[in-house]
Amino acid sequence: MSNSSNGGDARTVDFETLDRRYAIAVNLECWELLAMHSIANDESIPRIRLRMMKAFAGLPPGGGATAVSAPAPPTTASRRGGGNGSNRWL
C-alpha cells in the first residue's frame, strides 16, 4: 500500500471531508432542506440537488462541458434601425 502525504493509508479521508459529505448527505435526504437551500440560493431544487451530489462525489463546482448557459443578450448591432422608434429585435 502506498502512503499519503500525511503518513497514513491512501484510503484515509480527513475529518473535514467526512463532515462535509455527511452534511451534504443529510441535506440530500430531506426535501425540506433542499427547498430551503433552493430558496436561499434562488435556484431550482433539481439544480441544488445536482450541485450537492457533485460536491458529495468530490467533483469540482461548475458545469464543465455539460453546463447549459444562458444565451447572450442581443447587442445594439442586431437591432433594426427603424426611424419610427420601434424596438424590435432580430
N-term to C-term CA, the chain = 63
Which value, in Å, is the radius of gyration of the alpha carbons in the chain? 23
Whole-number pLDDT of residue 61? 80
The residue count for the chain: 90
CB 55 within 8 Å of CB 61 = yes
pLDDT along the chain (90 residues), means of 10: 55 88 95 95 95 92 56 51 52
Q: Which amino acid is at 82?
A: G
Taking the whole predicted model, whether its pTM rises above 0.75 is answered as: no
Where are the chain's structural domains? 30-57
